Amino acid sequence: MPPKLNSRQPTGVVPWPFVLAEGEEGAGKSYEAIAFSASEHIGKMYVMDLAEGSADEYAGIPGARFEVIIHDGSYQSIAEQVEAVWWEARRAAANREKPVVFVMDSGSALWRMLSNWTYERAKRSDRNRAKLAANPDAIIDIGRHHWNDSVERWNRIIYMLQTMPGIAIMLARGKEISATDGNGQPLVVRGKAVKEWRVSTQRDTGFDSTVWVRMRRDKTTELIKARTLRFRVEAGKPMPLPDFSYEKLIFGMLGCSADSQPRDMPELTGDRTGSWMKRIAEATGREACVALWAELDAGPEGVGLSEGEWKTVRAAVKARALDLAAPPATIDDEPDGDAARLRAAAAAQQAEADAEVLGDQAAAA
């Protein structure tokens, strides 16, 4: 039988925006974002301060009402808190409350942290460790796979901002710099250095945002891009925004209202095993593996997987159970005698046998 067509009529509702607000230091990016918290059109505002250290000071803005997100500086903590705000925004939207606003100050700091993580990981590769041992000042090679890992972490955050059931604002540093050619040399045309604007975040951020605002110290705020049917921003011709405020932009120009909804953007994945693999990796004991196996007893259709995906997940659960029963040996655990090796082999064999009967235990549970 052919697959059943799954479609719906468009709602015409204006979705909540994901705003990229970038610009020069001291241009008022943080001030304007937090001043937005005084708007009667919004509910709670949550501010994530990343390497800026100024969120508490902005409590002095007249009418400001916001909460500062607490994190420990690690990517895991940051991602968990963004997800926590996402769920709070969803709760507020489900109860028809005013929209939650999330402000990340700044995306530049997040991308810098991920870039540093990439560099440190590359330094630890066998090839780069050998190079640095021979010459501490050697230039290390950073592989594409290292950058791909950083971009994947970045995209996890971006996806939550794009689908936030409320208003998401990412602040970032932006400045005019001298353009360079393919050799890294200044680009000169007719005796004049060519200038270009650089935003200090992952390069696709402008494309991923739905609204792009640029702020400068002594110039009018400009709208670089807006995904809307209410007006058009021409390419290369930013729209001036005199007397800029987020309230005017979002509830006036874009036409957002209490009826606005998050963008309908199901996450694109190569298959549907991702969420299962995450749960399997987080399993810390045999009971958790048995529970996962019991869920899979519903069969491929019962858990929304194809036959191949279902088999892949089952194999991953068994492998995880095996690892938990007999963790891979480290250099400190290496058996140093025949008797020790025999005991280690017996333990591994028993663990494998345990994994084979996992299905029976799941059924019994």
Distance between CA atoms of residues 190 and 331, nearest Å = 63
Q: Bigger pLDDT: 3 or 215?
A: 215
Same domain, 241 and 292: no
Number of domains making up the chain:
2
Whether the predicted pLDDT of 48 surpasses 70: yes
Q: Indicate the burial class of 126 (C-beta count within 10 angstroms; 0-12, 13-18, 19 or more).
A: exposed
Same domain, 203 and 320: no
Tell whether 194 is covered by a domain. yes
Same domain, 139 and 52: yes
Same domain, 242 and 291: no
Same domain, 171 and 215: yes
What is the tens place of the pLDDT at every residue in 76-129?
A: 999 999 999 999 999 999 999 999 999 999 999 999 999 999 999 999 999 999
Same domain, 62 and 211: yes
What is the tens place of the pLDDT at every residue in 169-183?
A: 999 999 988 887 777
Same domain, 228 and 105: yes
Same domain, 145 and 293: no
Average confidence (pLDDT) over 247-272: 86
CATH number for 94: 3.40.50
Asked if residues 252 and 6 have their Cβ atoms less than 8 Å apart, the reply is no
Tell whether 219 is covered by a domain. yes
Average confidence (pLDDT) over 184-202: 85
Asked if residues 273 and 315 have their Cβ atoms less than 8 Å apart, the reply is no
Q: pTM for the whole thing? A: 0.76
Of 102, 98, 121, 115, the closest CA to residue 41 belongs to 98
Which residues constitute the domain of residue 316? 274-364
**Domain limit, last residue, from 223, 253, 283:** 253
Same domain, 42 and 136: yes
Identity of the amino acid at 57: E
